[in-house]
Amino acid sequence: MKGIINIGYPESLANSLRLSGKDFELEMKTSSLVKLFELGRVSSGMAAKVLGLSRVDFLDLLSKYKVSVFGAYDANDLTEDIANA
């Protein structure tokens, strides 16, 4: 099953980003999935699949958004992992 989300926005928003309607749609989809990954809500594999990318390409894309490939993994997680090693 495929879900569809419709988001209303003024054309001026897409225009201010110098994006066509189709490119703006892709930007919204991509940035949403990047943020969900960053928050630890979706895996890189799931985000990549939704975007039609390989996982490696999605991880590479994260740098454009200045998001760590480790997502929600933080210093506390690292300290815990070291303690458990």
Taking only the tens place, the pLDDT of each residue in 12-66 is 999 999 999 899 999 999 999 999 999 989 999 999 999 999 999 999 999 999 9
Comparison of pLDDT for 79 and 57, the residue scoring more? 57
Domain boundaries, the chain: 11-84
Q: How far is CA 33 from CA 9, 24, 48, 49, 76, in A?
A: 19, 14, 9, 11, 24
The pLDDT of residue 13 is 92
pLDDT-derived band at 82, boundaries 50, 70, 90: confident
Tokens read off for 4: 């569809």
pTM of this structure: 0.79
Inform me whether the pLDDT recorded for 81 exceeds 90: no
